[in-house]
Amino acid sequence: MIRKHIIVHGRVQGVGFRYIASSIAAGCHVTGWVRNQYDGTVEIEVQGADHRVALFLQEIRQGNRFARVDKLDVCDIETVNVEKEKDFRIKY
């Protein structure tokens, strides 16, 4: 089990990117959260099995026809107790 902190740079606000991230997370069976930052980036924390988090990162990098991901800043952080975090949510 690993947890990553991610800052997503690019055209990622106002294009539904948080909902894209949430959908990808559900498909990858990972937990965590996503939220917009005031500087135009998107912040994500994601937790799960190594291969599931790797798949999540791979799919996030692709963006979609509306969102464009230019760069991901990714670092490892402490995991969260799985009893406290059971899903992936959008923070407002």
3-state SS record for 3-35: EEEEEEEEECCCCCHHHHHHHHHHHHCCEEEEE
Q: Which of 36, 52, 81, 89 is catalytic?
A: 36
Nearest to 58 by CA among 28, 29, 79, 32: 28
- C-alpha–C-alpha distance, residues 18 and 35, integer Å: 7
64 is catalytic: no
36 is catalytic: yes
- C-alpha–C-alpha distance, residues 53 and 44, integer Å: 12
- Give the active site residues: 18, 36
